[in-house]
Amino acid sequence: MSSTSRVAVVTGGSRGIGRAVTRRLAAAGYDVAVVHAVNQAEAAAAVKEIEVVGRVGRAYQADVADASVIEQVFGSIEEQFGGTDVVVNSAGIMPLAPVAALDLAVLDRLLRTNVRGAFVVAQQAARRVRDGGAVVLFSSTATRLHLPAYGAYAATKGAVEALVPVLAKELAGRNITVNAVAPGPTATDLFLDGKSQEAIDQIARANPMGRLGTPEEIAEVVRTLADRARWINGQTVFVNGGFA
């Protein structure tokens, strides 16, 4: 592969919003490295979708919170693709419980994946993204909705929002943008899991648009931040149909 090819790294890229992001970036001309945690079959399917549109895709299995493994993965991506231009961290977990009832072991898992994982990926992005590139992290509209049972999850996403403008300023002079995307309720397995159809319909009706978002709608915003919207930097962009 030529070192002049545009290369994107997408964590959590085998399912849900991350999978839609890999498709959208591939369609925009990026070769894509898909970083996934467990599901090798889904990751392989994501790579096939990248290849269908004529781009190069490769899958890498890693825990985003494992700094040494993520460093090795980014090193392999540089060797195999020639460099990195865009890093998107969509890996995350969303166990829900009221603050009074939350098992602190669950809190530790949330902090490890959603905060440490985002930081580890952002750290590698800061070290490796080529000048003129972009870093896109994921927050959530849950930071504004203040819904019961979302306290721990929203707290982890608030940490991501705090990180973004700091990193944007630290990368000054390199023409690298750093932003977060904060989706509202979106029709993914992560969001739908454990919810009754009645609860899903109620959430959809509460949105001014009368429905849930789609992964493709979120992916389009990520694609825009990747290389089109160069004057958006250090921001959290809420993509929620007016939900909050």
Give the span between the Cα atoms of 52 and 46, in whole angstroms: 10
CA distances from 88 to 4, 33, 63, 145, 183 (A): 19, 10, 15, 24, 14
Q: Where are the alpha helices (DSSP H) in the chain?
A: 16-27, 40-52, 67-81, 104-110, 117-128, 142-145, 151-170, 189-192, 197-206, 215-227
Catalytic residues: 153
Dihedral (CA of 187, 105, 162, 75) sign: negative
* Residue of 51, 17, 59, 53 whose CA lies nearest to 34: 59
CB-based contacts of 28: which residues, under 8 Å, 6+ apart?
Answer: 223, 226, 227
* Residue of 210, 163, 162, 164 whose CA lies nearest to 184: 210
Give the span between the Cα atoms of 145 and 187, in whole angstroms: 17
Give the span between the Cα atoms of 236 and 85, in whole angstroms: 20
